[in-house]
Amino acid sequence: MEPKGLPAVAAGPEAGTIDDLVADAANAGYRVTPRTVHDWVAKGLIDRPERRRAGRSGSLKALYSGEQRLLFLHLLSARSEQLTVHDLAGVVIGVWHSLDDCVPTRQALRALRTWVGDPRSSKSEARRLARMHTKPFTEDPRLGTAHDRRELLRVVSDVFYTGRIDVDLLKEKARPIFEPREKYISIVHSRDETVVPDVETLVALLETITRAGQSVSDGTVTETCLDQARILLRYGAESVGMADLLTVLGLFALHPEALDPSLSSLDEPPCEVHTISVF
């Protein structure tokens, strides 16, 4: 979840108004309007500005922090490389996870809702998420047959679209990918992967990720949940992806008692926690 090419925030500009953001973009060669800024704020790509008290000449425009001005330019650069709003939301979450004092959790939560979207809104969106989460299984031609891989992708797409898991059907379609076991283990090891999942692992992770996506979409994931997920992931595996974040949020949704009110500081690791990223 590492942000790529983010300008150094330590040397960022001063806080500025929406006019400054538009001017920053113009100076960098991008044409944007205030409406673009407002739209990106709603999607969590930029944080909400800080309101100011009215002066003698009337109300003063709200201010965006210097870090947000830099982030805005970084996202505009990424957009010029054909990244979608979904992709840009992922960039924001990566910055939030990796850097302090740049992206607040309230913004990251809105960006996460944008990134997750609602796979139940369209079959194409459900298929996109299914392809992303099953890539190691459905895009390796050494696993099963082309028909086996298409069938697994179809069933997982239905899981995301309907929000329901037919465990028996999922196991039936996944089994040809994982068997024979010896061959599957050899293929996984050839990809330099240390974790060798099985059918049960796939089912459990899909249940967890599906629950996480639903919780994000319906607004039940709070800033506290997100902050605690970041703490666990920062002190967990060295390489962290979006699937890891969704897995932790899904576990919180399935087991709310796992939320620890005392776990509110990033200064000290609570314990050695390792998340397993299969997808």
262 part of a folded domain: yes
Q: How many domains does the chain have?
A: 2
Helix ranges (H only) for the chain are 18-27, 34-43, 66-80, 85-98, 105-116, 123-133, 135-138, 146-162, 167-178, 181-190, 199-217, 223-234, 242-254
Examine the domain organization and report whether 94 and 183 are in the same domain.
Answer: no
| DSSP structure class, residue 19 | H
Q: Are residues 253 and 168 in the same domain?
A: yes
What percent of the chain has a predicted confidence (pLDDT) above 70? 86
Residue 69 lies in a domain: yes
Percentage of the chain modeled with pLDDT above 90: 49
CATH number of the domain within which 62 lies:
1.10.1660.10
213 in the same domain as 263: yes
d(CA 113, CA 171): 29
Q: Are residues 62 and 138 in the same domain?
A: no
Same domain, 159 and 25: no
What is the tens place of the pLDDT at every residue in 240-266? 788 788 888 988 888 888 777 666 554
pLDDT in tens, 203-227: 888 888 888 988 898 888 999 999 9
pLDDT of residue 239: 65
- Rounded Cα distance between 92 and 225, Å, is 17
Domain membership of residue 3 (yes or no) is no
Q: Give the mean pLDDT of 125-154.
A: 91
Do residue 29 and residue 167 come from a single domain? Answer: no
Sign of CA dihedral 124, 127, 132, 138: negative
Q: Which of 89, 116, 143 is the last residue of a domain?
A: 116
What would the pLDDT profile of 161-181 be if each residue is shown by its tens digit? 988 889 999 999 999 999 899
Q: What is the predicted pLDDT for the residue at 6?
A: 52
Q: Is residue 4 part of a domain?
A: no
Torsions phi, psi for 63 (to 5 deg):
-110, 135
Q: Name the domain boundary from 99, 116, 133.
A: 116
Torsions phi, psi for 114 (to 5 deg): -65, -45
pLDDT tens-place string over residues 51-100: 887 766 667 889 999 999 999 999 999 999 989 998 999 999 999 998 87
Pick the more confident residue, 29 or 13.
Answer: 29
pTM, two decimal places: 0.79
Beta-carbon contacts of residue 106 (< 8 Å; ≥ 6 apart): 47, 48, 223
Q: Are residues 157 and 255 in the same domain?
A: yes
Domain limits for position 63 = 9-116
Residues 92 and 187 in one domain: no
Residues 100 and 197 in one domain: no
- Same domain, residue pair 253 and 141: yes
Within a domain: 2: no
pLDDT recorded at residue 60: 82
pLDDT given for residue 8 in this prediction:
43
Check whether residue 193 and residue 278 sit in a common domain. yes
Q: Say yes or no: 97 and 137 in one domain.
A: no
Domain's final residue, options 70, 96, 116 = 116
DSSP class per residue in 79-92: HHTT--HHHHHHHH
Q: What is the pLDDT of residue 277?
A: 32
